[in-house]
Structure 1
Amino acid sequence: MNEDHIPEYCHYFKTLLVEELVLESDYRNLHYGQCSIVGRLRVAEHFRLENVRVRNLPEDCSLPEGALSLLLLGLTYDKATEQRVSNGCYCILRGEVVLCNVLRPNSPTLTTRGIHEQLASLGHDSLARQRHLSDLNLTHKPAIDVWFAQKIDSTDELLSHRLQIRRLINGDK
């Protein structure tokens, strides 16, 4: 991706997998904007969304269920109760992809666009840019600012259909 290319905000709920956000090591390539994501809700110290094993993929192309999890912001016990989601349930979340500072949780979140703007402010100093990206990987982790949560059934079927639709849209065989 061009370092000077500022991504445009995605104004529709793009279907994403937990794995696509958690495993992205270059935050410049992280989705910028709204998303829709399926997973299993886990409530411990924080609300998290765990990955769900995609059963129609070969086992060597799919992680075990619960192997990865994504921090959820904006989801409170009251909001979860109101939207009828609880610990261990499978759900679909809609919200916005952000980067959360895990060392200072109350600090403002960051977006992919924000990263591009920070890098642009460093000019053409490639060493400073690389150092900044490395520092971000140590302090920030992808998260979802949750706007809506809905309990779902037939998780396997829903994920399979969503991936098939993505494959058709992208023109893959």
Structure 2
Amino acid sequence: MRAIWGWLWLLLYRPSPRTFHGWRRMLLRLFGARIGKGVYVYPSSKIWAPWNLEMEDHSCLGDHVDCYCVDKIHLGAHATVSQYSYLCSASHDYTRADLPLITAPISVGAGAWVTADAFVGPGVVIGEGAIVGVRSTVLKDVEPWTVVAGTPARKIKDRVMQE
């Protein structure tokens, strides 16, 4: 299944015109992704295993996002992952000589925004409405409605919406 998806991504997904979001949604659904209405997935995004991806209504994976979904990756409604970001749901157990693969799901809450070139590690939950700053490295959960930034990411302030 993984090999078939790789070829399909290369031949039909990646070269699709930028505006063909519906086409890419259909291809992802064919391979088991759970994709809501109005989802934007750009052709340069890489999705390792679509059967582990869930994107709720109006969520977005931007240009050149690397979605390494060895384990489940979930994007809530209206969540955005901006260009060049990396969602990594797997690593290796460095305490063992054979370096076995370890996985943990990632969740990006409704209305959250992972800005450009950020890294989100295995097992991280980014709360509803939270913002991850540019080039941040997120290795621990992010509380809802907060802004985090840095390497490792730290809370900068609360996110307060203006009327």
Measured against the shorter chain, the TM-score band is under 0.3
TM-score by length of 1: 0.24
Q: TM-score, structure 2 length as denominator?
A: 0.25
RCO comparison, higher one (Cα < 8 Å, 6+): 1
Max Rg structure:
1
More helix by share: 1
